[in-house]
Amino acid sequence: MADVAESERRILVAVDEGEESMHALSWCLKNVVSQNSKDTLILLYAKPPRAVYTALDGTGYLFSSDILAAMEKYGAEVAACVLEKAKKMCKDLQRDVKVEARVENGDPRDVICQMTEQLGADVLVMGSHGYGLIKRAFLGSVSNHCAQNVKCPVLIVKKPKTNAGSK
């Protein structure tokens, strides 16, 4: 880690429901975070706004408020679950690393770029997908967008093909 190990780097890792982002986190813990560093890992989960679910339902029917409330609750639970899983991985792979977890509402592309700036991240780590194939067709690649718009170094980690279903 040379001379910057002491400089308390802030490493932002964008996590989501996908296995790819967990793979990115794992790769980062093994390859970027050093064992005795003062690095802080910031786990960021971007909770897509309701509109994203609605627009992508595709049935043409609007959801009732009950269903929307249930989806909101489900969304919050997913966020908590993803962050728990990510935190556990941090403890397992780098016991001493400082970990912060954040949930932010919004389009992941915007949220990740904004938070990277706002939190003064020294590097952004993310999977290459972030959305499923269909959603990506609508929303574009999150990692592409972030790599173009974020000022700090961006590390894009793909899940090895042998375990992943898509390219």
| Residue numbers at the binding site for a copy of itself (CB under 8 A) | 1-4, 9, 24, 27, 29-35, 93-94, 122-123, 128, 141, 143-144, 147-148, 151-158, 160-161
Close Cβ partners of 136 (under 8 Å, ≥ 6 residues apart)? 129, 130
Judged by beta carbon, residue 44 or residue 157, the one nearer a copy of itself is: 157
Rounded least distance, CB 51 to a copy of itself, Å: 27
CB of residue 134 vs a copy of itself: minimum separation in angstroms? 18
Question: In the complex, what is the shortest distance from the CB of residue 114 to a copy of itself, in angstroms, rounded to a whole number?
Answer: 17
Give residue 113's identity as a one-letter amino acid code.
C
* CB 20, CB 158: distance < 8 Å: yes
Which H or E run contains 91? helix 65-93
| 116, burial (CB in 10 Å: exposed 0-12, middle 13-18, buried 19+) | buried
Nearer to a copy of itself, 58 or 165 (CB): 165
In the bound state with a copy of itself, the residue whose beta carbon lies nearer, of 79 and 90, is 90
> 3-state class of 157 per DSSP?
strand
Report in angstroms how near the CB of residue 110 gets to a copy of itself at its nearest. Answer: 18
Comparing CB distances to a copy of itself, the nearer of 54 and 141 is: 141
Residue 113 CB partners (closer than 8 Å, separation 6+): 145, 146, 149, 150
